[in-house]
Structure formats: C-alpha cells, structure tokens
Amino acid sequence: MKTFIPFAFLAAAALMLGGCAALEGQDLSDELVSNEGVTAIANSRLNDDFMTGRATLSVTVVDGLATLYGTVPDEATRQRAIQILENSPGVFEVLDRTRRR
C-alpha cells in the first residue's frame, strides 16, 4: 500500500503536466464565435498594419460578412485593407464601402 500512494501521485502529476502541454500548443483563434469578437480582431489587424493604420477605417462583421467603412488615400490602401480582412479568422466575404480622399 505504501508504494502505491507515491506511484498514484506521480501518475496524477504526469497526467496534469501532459494536459498543460496540450493546451499550450492549441490555437484558439479558430474558436471565435461572436460577431463582436471577429469584429474586434479585424479592426485590430487593420489598425496594426503599417499601410491601413494611417487610414480612417472601421469594419463590422456579421455572420462572416465584413463591411469595410472609411476613407482611404489611394487604391493600394483599399486593396491592402480588403486583403487583411479576407485573411482574418471568421471573415468569409468582404463588402467594400470605402471612399477615396
């Protein structure tokens, strides 16, 4: 009985450490479920980009449809914003409502 208790403790510790390692490598970006979460990620990506961060842009995402609003200085910035949104998790289609300055 005395040898069983340390063995059980070691087995439990090994299982817990293995579970932590499995969670560490998990990509949670695929688990975005809310429109608000997808919208927040998309807006963050636009603001963090060197080219689109200088433009006045915003996006709303509803059921995978991203609607891009705002003013862009040129066509290259518009295309970059659309590209960023098309590659954002949870976005399946982009509707461009931007205007040129």
41-53 per-position pLDDT tens digit: 999 999 999 999 9
Q: How many domains does the chain have?
A: 1
Supply the pLDDT for residue 21.
45
For the segment 84-97, the average pLDDT, to the nearest whole number, is 97
Query: Residue 54: inside a domain, yes or no?
Result: yes
Query: Residue 25: inside a domain, yes or no?
Result: no
Query: Residue 11: inside a domain, yes or no?
Result: no
Query: Residue 72: inside a domain, yes or no?
Result: yes
Measured CA to CA, the distance from residue 101 to residue 79 in angstroms comes to: 15
**Model pLDDT for residues 4-46, shown as the tens digit of each residue:** 555 555 556 565 655 544 445 545 454 546 999 999 999 999 9
Give the structural domain span for 79.
30-100
Query: Residue 4: inside a domain, yes or no?
Result: no
Which CATH number belongs to the domain containing residue 85 in this structure?
A: 3.30.1340.30
For the segment 69-83, the average pLDDT, to the nearest whole number, is 97
Q: Which one has a higher pLDDT value, 101 or 4?
A: 101
Query: Residue 50: inside a domain, yes or no?
Result: yes
Measured CA to CA, the distance from residue 38 to residue 57 in angstroms comes to: 16
Query: Residue 77: inside a domain, yes or no?
Result: yes
Going by their DSSP bridges, the two strands 65-72 and 93-100 should be labelled as parallel
Tell me the residue type at 22: A
Task: Please report how the helices 35-48 and 75-86 are oriented relative to each other, as an axis angle in degrees rounded to 10.
Answer: 140
> What are the start-end ranges of the H helices in the chain?
4-24, 35-48, 75-86
Query: Residue 10: inside a domain, yes or no?
Result: no
pTM tops 0.75, yes or no:
no
